């Protein structure tokens, strides 16, 4: 029996070994269970004064409390949104417009941050500074000091907790302290960190923080922004005053409940088990193939971004239908270009085109690692010499 016949999640049964948890996670059956009544029975508008509003209202408050506890925040500091991208938009656009601030980001942020920064520059004339990263993908705190040195008025700084491609962990607490010394507002995109490593808004010292449900076993569309009390933000949606007036629209109770439950379950991270599986996979591949890890040793416990000398990532994955993983490169109309994240780290184009991202999670088993290692090694052998020599 292959590990796939033994899948630990119904969505994985019969399919390839899932190694793409940084793209999205299967919804935990325990999340599905608590959400179900809000799709079926408890349909009311949480703002309704009559009986139908009561249960959704209680559930929404409970979900907010769960997310707040998960982050070490207060309940009135959690704003539900429909995606991580929207939470990032609320944070960046909201803080920049509220204070007439300039914006400092770093080069390997998710497009939801980088493109929001570009849009602010284009539409509002916001001054944007993009900090470089070193070969590990990390920001040098001195570069932030330099960027904020000039007495240039209010600033908003956005630094991700963990990179989605390499798993690199930014020194967020250190950078936040520097930014605060200079009076800046600090946002952290913790989409990839939440549910994989401990995330505490006080320890990180941030003012705004993005949480994304579909990276932590809740469904797509469930997300939130932590907004520290007293931090002024321009709303992202105007209207009926929901979510403290920052994001109007009748609340999606089911998805809030899902995020709350996922946050509660994420207290048990399982990081040691997952990193042991990840390292086992790495060692098995490295024993046979010329692999090089892209990213630092200090990284998310589930992430392995590697290049195999002379092989294109997309060709390797195409030859390996036994696994579902991402290439580290971008593909537009069939043309593959090196990942901007790896490029910003100074990874040469050929090696960047060879990158594959293997990301493990809650439902990954030792059997999955057996299948994946053997399949990748066999796929590498099956590639024509021409592809390997390139």
Ligand X SMILES: Cc1ncc(COP(=O)(O)O)c(C=O)c1O
Residues forming contacts to ligand X in the complex (CB under 6 A) are 83-85, 110, 112, 160, 164, 189, 191-192, 212, 214, 223
- The residue number with the shortest CB distance to ligand X is 84
Inter-CA distances, 27 with 58, 265, 363, Å: 23, 12, 10
Q: Which entry of 188, 194, 320, 331 is annotated as an active-site residue?
A: 331
Residue in 104, 122, 112 with CA at minimum distance from that of residue 83: 112
CB of 14 to ligand X, least distance (A): 26
CB of 5 to ligand X, least distance (A): 30
Polymer length of the chain: 390
CB of 210 to ligand X, least distance (A): 7
CB of 209 to ligand X, least distance (A): 11
Of residues 166 and 192, the one with the C-beta less far from ligand X: 192
Of residues 83 and 126, the one with the C-beta less far from ligand X: 83
- For residues 257 and 35, the answer to whether their CB atoms sit within 8 Å is yes
Coil/strand/helix, residue 355: strand
Of residues 193 and 257, the one with the C-beta less far from ligand X: 193
β-strands 102-106, 155-158 pairing: parallel
- Within the chain, residue ranges assigned H as helices are 29-39, 51-71, 84-99, 111-124, 141-149, 172-181, 201-204, 253-265, 271-288, 313-318, 340-344, 349-353, 366-382, 385-389
188 flagged as catalytic = no
Residue in 324, 334, 327, 292 with CA at minimum distance from that of residue 313: 327
Of residues 231 and 259, the one with the C-beta less far from ligand X: 259
Query: Which of the residues are catalytic?
Result: 331
């Amino acid at each position: 029996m292959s590990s796939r016949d033994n899948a630990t999640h119904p969505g994985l049964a019969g399919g390839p070994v899932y190694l793409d948890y940084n793209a999205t996670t299967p919804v935990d059956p325990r999340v599905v269970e608590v959400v179900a009544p809000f799709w079926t029975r408890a349909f009311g508008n949480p703002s309704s004064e009559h009986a139908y509003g009561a249960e959704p209202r209680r559930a929404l408050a409970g979900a907010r409390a769960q997310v707040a506890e998960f982050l070490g925040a207060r309940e009135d500091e959690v704003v539900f949104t429909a995606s991580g991208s929207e939470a990032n938009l609320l944070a960046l656009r909201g803080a920049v417009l509220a204070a007439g601030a300039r914006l400092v980001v770093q080069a390997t942020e998710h497009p939801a941050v980088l493109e929001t920064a570009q849009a602010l520059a284009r539409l509002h004339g916001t001054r944007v500074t993009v900090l470089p990263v070193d070969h590990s993908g990390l920001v040098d705190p001195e570069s932030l000091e330099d960027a904020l040195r000039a007495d240039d008025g209010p600033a908003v700084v956005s630094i991700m907790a963990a990179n989605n491609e390499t798993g690199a962990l930014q020194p967020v607490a250190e950078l936040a302290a520097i930014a605060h010394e200079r009076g800046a507002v600090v946002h952290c995109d913790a989409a990839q960190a939440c549910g994989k490593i401990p995330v505490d808004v006080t320890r990180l010292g941030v003012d705004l923080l993005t949480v994304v449900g579909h990276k932590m076993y809740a469904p797509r569309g469930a997300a939130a922004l932590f907004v520290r009390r007293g931090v002024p933000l321009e709303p992202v949606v105007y209207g009926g005053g929901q979510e403290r007036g920052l994001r109007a629209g009748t609340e999606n109770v089911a998805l809030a409940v899902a995020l709350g439950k996922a946050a509660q379950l994420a207290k048990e991270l399982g990081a040691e088990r997952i990193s042991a599986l990840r390292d086992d996979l790495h060692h098995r591949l490295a024993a046979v193939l010329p692999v090089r890890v892209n990213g630092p040793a200090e990284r998310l416990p589930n992430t392995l971004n590697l290049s195999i000398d002379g092989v294109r990532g997309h060709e390797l994955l195409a030859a390996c239908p036994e696994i579902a993983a991402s290439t580290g490169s971008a593909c537009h109309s069939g043309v593959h270009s090196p990942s901007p994240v790896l490029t910003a780290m100074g990874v040469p184009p050929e090696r960047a085109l060879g990158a594959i991202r293997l990301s493990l999670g809650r439902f990954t088993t030792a059997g999955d690692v057996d299948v994946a290692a053997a399949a990748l090694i066999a796929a590498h052998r099956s590639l024509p010499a021409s592809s390997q020599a390139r």
